[in-house]
Amino acid sequence: QVQLVESGGGLVQSGGSLRLSCAASGIFRLYTMGWYRQAPGKQRELVASITAFGTTIYADSVKGRFTISRDKTSAVALQMDSLKPEDTAVYYCNVRLPSTPNNYWGQGTQVTVSS
């Protein structure tokens, strides 16, 4: 059974930093890990993802400000710097095995950036 435990998030002023962490159990290294976010009234969108081989993808809106990383123990982190009010959203950890229906979500953590 796959379980995702998220930590981090909170309230920060514009220009500040936060770090989100997600520990996954029940998966193996071939899973792609990533972070999505959903702001009120908007669709959930990809923020960043990283494959088992270290290939990363970032949304254009966060390039140069956010950094995704993962370790060998199925944990993924998202370092968020130079935060903006428009980064305010619920952030979700996601793990998926490419080309399969295996796709799992964390419970979400709130990130609020005040101006």
| Angle subtended at Cα 64 by Cα 36 and Cα 75, rounded to the nearest 5 degrees | 45
Whole-number pLDDT of residue 71? 87
pLDDT tens digits, 9-67: 999 999 999 999 999 998 888 899 999 999 999 999 999 999 999 999 999 999 999 99
Whole-number pLDDT of residue 27? 86
d(CA 4, CA 103): 11
pLDDT tens digits, 55-106: 999 999 999 999 999 987 789 999 999 999 999 999 999 999 999 999 999 9
Whole-number pLDDT of residue 28? 82
